[in-house]
Amino acid sequence: MSDFSLALTATIAITFLLAGIVKGVTGMGLPTLAMGLLGAVMPPVTAASLLIVPSFVTNVWQLFAGSSFASILRRLWLMMAGIMVGTIAGARLLASDNVKWTTAGLGAALVLYAAYTLLARQPGIPARAERWLSPIIGVLTGLVTGGTGVFVVPAVPYIQALGLGRDDLIQALGLSFTVSTTALALGLASHGAFEVEHLAMSSLAVLPALLGMWLGQLLRQRISPATFRRWFLIFLIVLGLELLARPFLG
């Protein structure tokens, strides 16, 4: 898909506006929602290419908003290394022409993440297990990211289980998403799937994403973030099920 019509450009802008609102209210969800919505109207590899710049900008902002970057990086560097390796290796699937399986994989990742977050109890990770578990979680997250463009499985549940304070948790998620975004760009480029036109459109999507984040932060003061997050996750399950079933219903 190299020709972006006016209607498709408007769809992309609205998608990143909505995804930015979700991130502004909940602190996360921009890449996940953007991949889900864009994956419904274009091949997942194109959606992932459009995600690169807005995701990078918003997550770098989140990463450097706190004061614990150095300590978080020391703690999670093995996981970040695993994400880089797994994403670059897994991007071969996303860059392939097999839209049927990449769409189904995207749907499965959305359902798995949303259902787990909505229903599962939060586990705890013993400190002694982190050194061997972090690189495994990183590689698994990378493979999912490379294959579907979704950054959150299993990285988010794992980071949430580390017992970090609220500010450190937000910064750690920003680190994970920033590394995932960078690795996805490298993986797509290494397989010839990152087109210049996609980069230009991705750059234009930054403005609606930032506007959405600002609106979401205003909205956060007027609604319950927990209730909003619950309905957002339910929506992701419905969207994921549709994407998962689509290749088998055509």
7 CB contacts (<8 Å, ≥6 apart)?
Answer: none
CA-to-CA distance for 208 and 114, rounded, in angstroms?
Answer: 24
pLDDT of residue 2: 47
Give pLDDT < 50 ranges for the chain.
Answer: 1-2
CA-to-CA distance for 18 and 217, rounded, in angstroms?
Answer: 13
Q: Are 7 and 41 in contact (CB under 8 A)?
A: no
pLDDT of residue 4: 67
pLDDT of residue 121: 80
pLDDT of residue 1: 44
**Domain map (residue ranges) of the chain:** 6-249
pLDDT of residue 241: 96
Instruction: Using alpha carbons, list the distances in angstroms from residue 236 to 23, 180, 222.
Output: 14, 20, 23
| pTM, 2 dp | 0.90
